Amino acid sequence: MKVNYRGYKIKAKQKGMGGYKSVYLSVARLSDNHLIEDSRNDSGETIYEVVEGAKRRIDLIEDYRAKKGLEKKLR
């Protein structure tokens, strides 16, 4: 699953290896391709739940940047 959200690219895929289903997640900023997160999740969450969690983290990052006036420096 690939999602563009608030200037970030979210990629998530589910793989089953060794009897476990893992969700692999990467989040990068579109403007400069800065990697924000690259992780694997074995918690049993669905791919949609992991993507929603990534969106919540992006909201926190962007809200902080807007509060500090940082949004104009990187865009």
Instruction: Name the residue range of residue 58's domain.
Output: 2-74
18-66: pLDDT as tens digits: 777 899 999 999 999 999 999 998 888 889 999 999 999 999 999 998 8
pLDDT of residue 42: 85
Q: What is the Cα–Cα distance from 2 to 9, expressed in whole angstroms?
A: 7
C-alpha to C-alpha distance for 24 and 8, rounded to whole angstroms: 16
Does the pLDDT value for residue 72 go beyond 60?
A: no
Give the count of domains, the chain. Answer: 1
Q: Residue 48: how many CA atoms within 13 Å on its side-chain side?
A: 0
Can you give the pLDDT at residue 73?
A: 53
Phi-psi domain of 5 (left: phi exceeds 0; alpha: psi -120 through 50; beta: other): beta
